[in-house]
Structure 1
Amino acid sequence: MTQAGPLTWRTGSGWLVLSGGEPPEPAESSILDTVTLRWAYPNRPMAILPTAGGSLNQLEELALGYGDLSGSEGYVVPIFGLNDAHQSENYQLLAESGLIYLADGPDALALVRALRDSPALEAIDQAYAEGASILGLGAAAMVLGAWVAGSAEGAQPEPGLGWVQNVIIEPRFAGSASAMRLRALLGAQPGCLGLGIPEGSALALGPDSQVETVGEGQVTVVLNQVRGETGAA
């Protein structure tokens, strides 16, 4: 594992980027644009995972736009459930990519259930070890942490992939409601800290313990109430 301050994340040769999500009116340069230009492994394609339930039409358009920006191919990897995550064709698409985009969507639990202990996750890990970067957008960013909250009322949190160790990620972090939701999750997991990431912003974790913010918003680190709370740029 790689560490910087209170954060510990999976070791690889690429970057791990946690985005709070794109705002309703995206900025001229999106988080994906920044990640593509700065951290995507050159001359390798972008693989988009739609498993959290985002719009396929929008993701296909995103794949086409990636080619215009980077000169490399972009494609949607058809993983919609556990069986798809065990298909050798999908393994190959992920393992050969230079940027893996975990797309936002209404069902983060579907994403973590499909990937957990799957060949698809092994392929993502292989690509990451070789220099590919991973971008988790919005709800998909939660999956990279220790616990994932369900979107349905009363749904119980489930273990995440744990690529960012002992951290619960709250995307679209804004105002007291977000803070209360994150503190409630932390209350059930006393060994964790929280990351509140607003829309239009991201926290980027590098292979040499670099920690950078992308966008204009502030990423907030929330500790358990016993230990207090602090903010991070």
Structure 2
Amino acid sequence: MSSIINEYIGWLREYKSRGGYYSKLAKKLINELKEIHVIADLEATLSGIPRPSFPMTLFGKNEFFLKLDDWQEEIINRQEAYIKALGTINEVESSSSDIHKLIIFIRNTLNGDDCLLHIRGLSFFKILEDAEQLKETLEYLASLPEVDPPDDPRQNTFDAIVPDDEEHAACLRLLRNNSADFHSNYPANRHANSLLQTVLLIYQDMTSSSQLKSVKQVRTF
């Protein structure tokens, strides 16, 4: 999965390769991060590393700890944005069948174990934070005419994805409807595109990483 942990490990490996003062600690932290699967454990691991008593600088041996502080701040920001996003989506309702299914799909994706760690997670939460904008986006999607799927979808496109369930299928349908007449300078069009593509990419990455889709079966909804 495209996780912030992978980004952290990448930075630590590069730091370790320079043979810095804390390269051994970086190596130890890499091994610990490889075993982490939830954000609470990530936060605990980073906060549990003793900080030096000497002043921080942007250069030299303290770069390691400055980066740890940046990561801890990112984790806090993610958790705060996540709580807001979850609160917003839990208050949204719709009489439209497809929008109702989309709401369920978004909630289920948010509740996935890996969502808080996903590289696109923070942008996803930010999209959902504004309750009024989200409501307008969902109303806009509900107003769009139904667009038939292509007979021969191109590989590696959203149209080629085999949906896992009705909620997944509804999200793919709504994206197809929105993409049929896409204008990047139209806010509702653009915001809907960001919402749908982001949740689909996160969902796909999460299900692939957890090996929930070992065998694809063609379904029709």
Q: Do the structures match in fold with TM over 0.5? A: no
Q: Which has the higher contact order (CA 8 A, sep 6+)?
A: 1
Bigger CA radius of gyration: 2
TM-score (norm 1): 0.24
By percentage of residues, which structure has more strand?
Answer: 1
Structure with a larger share of its residues in helix? 2
